[in-house]
Structure 1
């Protein structure tokens, strides 16, 4: 713990800059540094105003994530390629010597969670309170005595953007609890699993583990989920700036409301195909046997389930190939694989629009527009879960301004976000 006034002083004087550069991946003297400093000073002010009396605090950061490869492969125990980005949740927090967690997320009502009851509360489904209680419950199940704390948070992770603001939030709660009550014994992988548990069991969303893993571990990570209990995580060292391309996430304006059924249908249908072979997930199914069985699978499971399974087998191989391409510094190979991934998601996985409202196709329009602008250069694909939200584009730097301006002329001001990959996951920022 560190005195709040001391943290303020280190931010004002630039003494904290080295740590900020380490976390966010910027250079000394970077033009972004004043923004990082001011944001943290703002959080300190918010904490002091909301929670009077705490003299010692710590600062935390948990990033959003971008999926680079492996669209809907994680829940079938497949391979993914993901990365943390420079948008994050930052928090100022301190233990409060009670059994109550009080979290003020800027712009939202105060959450108060009584930790004497760690059972799921149905009325908290789809609410942040469920994530707080779920993360605390999971850490408690691992043998740690979890107590109360106060936290003031602010986030620039775009909600509904496919950058996984929920995973960043779960990671944030996990990092705080780990620091205050677990003697920092939980690994980044432990924190990711805890986050997934909270989202699945308490929040009510049947997500895989990729989002939490990318946010918690940080940097570019290749993850093999063959063993869900002990996934293989490999950090990939690659400087995207060296490719002379920029990573863009484009908000298509689609509405995520009422899409849980669409998201849930993908793992359900893939698992139905796996069950036809006596297996639980497609990773356990031999692809050659699957291909031979397509006639009977079409009758038993339906064509969409078959097509989605075909996507899985190809996408699982692509995620590995993308990892290998980046490890070798072969961006052109990576670019071609990204294009193939996007086409497979659209044609076979079929997650670019919902069948409930087919006349509304925000993602399809954005994908078509981006391809037209890029005209054979760069790459574009569905980003994240799909159906609504965002697309991902790798844009040559010499046409970045034109791409952003043209996309926003159709989709609206600030729809195109130019991001960088940050090296750190969920961290204690200053203590």
Structure 2
């Protein structure tokens, strides 16, 4: 940590450029934007909390799921990556037991950290996440106290890029640096974020979002042992593929879908229970198919279909990682499309069953495939039901693809992203 004036000077002089580039993989344009945001945060911090005292600069990235749609909560395999959209913070200890957070575009929150139990009135809010993360750190024996923070996030809310995981990782990195001497691993920070989201925020998410955000780069993750997931970074440069990663906002409302999301792990769990197991990773593939009639009778057809998706997409995620490691990008694209078909046909997470007349994700996928004309790939992105579609677009088609999408979905619907080398990070 440094005095605020010293950090401002380092930003303005370009002394932090090398560190920012290492963390975020920024080009010149990206660096200019990061510098402006960090400078703004330091000024905001001084205005809100005073210009005295040492502070740090922190970052938590959004993430994109490359493979393994809804496989993590069944202890399966996923392929994911951190992206160059992030949440940034300027933060420092305040000597109290209150966390005071000022986030651009959001109401101020003050959290009493002497109250470490979930507060029902906070469910679904960022205050719940902060309280939950602090509670877990303290439970693990770390001397967390109050802090001040100014936060600015460009991770699109409701976009399937996991703005909540970026926020959780950011708060975890701040607490780890301010009070724990950076002793907590990035995997532990991800697990703490998931705990806060499950127990305090009230969303039964898996660990993939937080882990991809915390670790950074492209990561192949095996959740067979969720207490100690096997995480492997892949040495693959997406820029070498000749394709750009695009996330497309379908225009559908991504909020208020917790019941739809929760039904997937519940129904997959019901299918696993037919074999005396709690998750599908522990069910033998051949035994499942040999007893399909039993699964249909005891758990229902949709549960059976969602179990089929798990078995298919769990293997597909492994094959995708292998394709990238062998530099076979066209095999990777074929597997992306295969995963997308499974999500639509078996997992059935392309639209909300309560509003079948609204199928923006389906329309977006169909439009993307029409514009790609047999090239690239497109699939539902993230949790599904609403929100976003992921596409891999040949570089020569980028502008044509953007124009075609915007003609139907509106200007600004396409977000071309870069993979970020590092995950949750202390910048300075």
TM-score by length of 1: 0.98
Distance 1:345 1:286 in 2: 21
Q: Displacement, 1:53?
A: 4.1
Distance 1:258 1:38 in 2: 34
Aligned alpha-carbon RMSD (Å):
0.8
For residue 106 of structure 1, the aligned residue among 80, 104, 107 is: 104
Distance 1:95 1:261 in 2: 38
Distance 1:45 1:251 in 2: 32
Contact 2:45 2:51 in 1 (8 A): no
Contact 2:158 2:255 in 1 (8 A): no
Please state whether the residue corresponding to 1:31 is helix, strand or coil.
helix
Where does residue 12 of structure 1 map in the other structure?
A: 12
Distance 2:254 2:219 in 1: 27
Where does residue 405 of structure 1 map in the other structure?
A: 403
For residue 132 of structure 2, the aligned residue among 131, 134, 149 is: 134
For residue 122 of structure 2, the aligned residue among 114, 121, 124 is: 124
Q: Displacement, 1:259?
A: 1.1
Task: Determine if the alignment matches structure 1 residue 296 to structure 2 residue 294.
Answer: yes
Where does residue 78 of structure 1 map in the other structure?
A: 76
Where does residue 318 of structure 2 map in the other structure?
A: 320
Where does residue 21 of structure 1 map in the other structure?
A: 21
Task: Determine if the alignment matches structure 1 residue 41 to structure 2 residue 36.
Answer: no
Where does residue 244 of structure 2 map in the other structure?
A: 246
Contact 1:54 1:94 in 2 (8 A): no
Distance 1:138 1:54 in 2: 30
Q: Displacement, 1:51?
A: 1.1
Where does residue 113 of structure 2 map in the other structure?
A: 115
Distance 2:79 2:332 in 1: 11
Distance 1:397 1:170 in 2: 33
Where does residue 357 of structure 2 map in the other structure?
A: 359
Contact 1:222 1:236 in 2 (8 A): yes
Distance 1:305 1:60 in 2: 42
Residues 128-157 of structure 1: per-residue CA shift (max 9 Å, x gap): 100000000111111111100000000000
Residues 61-82 of structure 1: per-residue CA shift (max 9 Å, x gap): 0000000000000000000000
Task: Determine if the alignment matches structure 1 residue 347 to structure 2 residue 345.
Answer: yes
Please state whether the residue corresponding to 1:208 is helix, strand or coil.
coil
Please state whether the residue corresponding to 1:151 is helix, strand or coil.
strand
Distance 1:100 1:316 in 2: 43
Distance 1:414 1:90 in 2: 22
Distance 1:257 1:356 in 2: 14
Please state whether the residue corresponding to 1:107 is helix, strand or coil.
coil
TM-score by length of 2: 0.99
Runs of 4+ off more than 2 Å? none
Where does residue 175 of structure 1 map in the other structure?
A: 173
Contact 1:362 1:388 in 2 (8 A): yes
Distance 2:118 2:24 in 1: 35
Residues 42-62 of structure 1: per-residue CA shift (max 9 Å, x gap): 111111111114332110000
Distance 2:268 2:67 in 1: 18
Residues 219-278 of structure 1: per-residue CA shift (max 9 Å, x gap): 101100000110000000101010000000000011123311110000000000100100
Distance 1:329 1:65 in 2: 22
Contact 2:74 2:281 in 1 (8 A): yes
Q: Give 5+ residue unaligned stretches, structure 2.
A: none
Please state whether the residue corresponding to 2:29 is helix, strand or coil.
coil
Q: Displacement, 1:32?
A: 2.1
Distance 1:105 1:205 in 2: 22
Please state whether the residue corresponding to 1:266 is helix, strand or coil.
helix
Distance 2:132 2:364 in 1: 36
Distance 1:26 1:363 in 2: 30
Q: Give 5+ residue unaligned stretches, structure 1.
A: none
Distance 1:414 1:148 in 2: 39
Residues 309-362 of structure 1: per-residue CA shift (max 9 Å, x gap): 000001000000001111111101100000000010011000000110000001
Q: Displacement, 1:25?
A: 1.1
Q: Displacement, 1:182?
A: 1.1
Distance 1:410 1:147 in 2: 50
**Farther off after superposition, 77-86 or 54-63:** 54-63
Q: Displacement, 1:378?
A: 0.2
Q: Displacement, 1:26?
A: 2.9
